[in-house]
Amino acid sequence: MGRVRDLRTVGVEPGMTLRATGDGLAIPDARLTIDPARAHVWDPGLPRDARLRSNRASTDRLVVAAEVARVLAAGRAPSAGFGPLLVADGHGDPWLDAARVRIERQVAALADRDVEAAVEPAVGLIGLGTGLTPSGDDYLVGLLAGLEASGDRSWAPLARAIAAAAPSRTTAIGAAMLVHAARGEYTERLHDVLIALADGRSRGLAAAVGRAMAYGATSGADTLVGVFAAVRVATSGRARAAA
């Protein structure tokens, strides 16, 4: 069976009742049963092939892959949220200016391996921006995922600080998302972006970036800004260590 993109194509309409049947789920009005015995179990933790490796050759490749991904994302960047940051645009917009200052301070602190100094700008990004999940929240999810993928140990204490601050600083949905990210739980779209970055081939990058950017009105773009910030941290640190 192929992918079902729209449940209406299998007869499911908004408002129908979903019943637990004991060994599965059923939507009687659509004559649909969902049998978990045949379901794939999906783990929100980062898969092994999403790890960004850390020798010098792969760092060079990662820098190139991230730039390709950024250009791909910039081509479809929304004008709202942090999208303009993908194209180094939006100067003079008070939200983007606030975001840009905090992101740069955070990236500089993380590149210096100063997690403590990275916490304050991270907390300042929680709840920053418009929308259902404010752009700052989406950015931080991308950042945490990217840091974890690159094996950067700063991600765990930073994640704990973000999870502790989130409930009082953002929307209920944004806070829930950040708490999950702090546990290392991310969306499949985000896994795919990191897998594509680790692999580095442009076809995979185009597909993964396309799917990520299609998520939400600006959330996908905001998340990618965070991933690219994490790649900057990872590659700048390694470049210095190798020098």
Partner 1 sequence: MTLVTRGAVHKNSYRDSVELMGIAAQIEALEGIQRAGLVMATPANLGVVAAAGLADAVPAGAGSNDLIVVVAAADEAVADAAIARAAALLAAGGDGGGGSGEGASEAPAAQTLGEGVAELPDANLALISTPGTYAAAEALRALKLGLNVLLFSDNVSIEDEIRLKTLADERGLLVMGPDCGTAIVADVP
Tell me the two tokens of residue 156.
């765990």
How are strands ordered across the β-sheet holding 32-34? 19-20, 25-27, 32-34
Distances (CA, A) of 104 to 93, 160, 217, 237, 238: 16, 21, 24, 15, 18
Residue nearer to partner 1 on the CB measure, 2 or 22: 2
Give the three-class secondary structure for 200: coil
Shortest Cβ 178–partner 1 spacing (Å)? 12
Residue nearer to partner 1 on the CB measure, 138 or 148: 138
Question: Interface with partner 1 by CB under 8 A: which residues?
Answer: 6, 8, 76, 78-81, 94-95, 98, 124-132, 134-136, 168-173, 213-218
Shortest Cβ 243–partner 1 spacing (Å)? 36
Residue nearer to partner 1 on the CB measure, 70 or 238: 70
Residue nearer to partner 1 on the CB measure, 82 or 186: 82
CB atoms within 10 A of CB 149: 27
Shortest Cβ 218–partner 1 spacing (Å)? 5
CA dihedral 153, 155, 157, 163 (to 10 degrees): -160
Shortest Cβ 155–partner 1 spacing (Å)? 21
Residue nearer to partner 1 on the CB measure, 44 or 215: 215
Closest CA to 234 of 159, 143, 134: 143
Shortest Cβ 95–partner 1 spacing (Å)? 6
Shortest Cβ 151–partner 1 spacing (Å)? 29
Residue nearer to partner 1 on the CB measure, 52 or 140: 140
Shortest Cβ 158–partner 1 spacing (Å)? 17
Cα-atom radius of gyration of the chain, to the nearest Å? 19
Residue nearer to partner 1 on the CB measure, 21 or 79: 79
Q: Which long-range contacts (CB under 8 A, 24 or more apart) does 169-174 make?
A: 169/123, 169/126, 169/127, 170/126, 170/127, 170/133, 170/134, 170/136, 170/137, 171/127, 171/132, 171/133, 171/134, 171/137, 173/132, 173/133, 174/126, 174/127, 174/132, 174/133, 174/134, 174/137
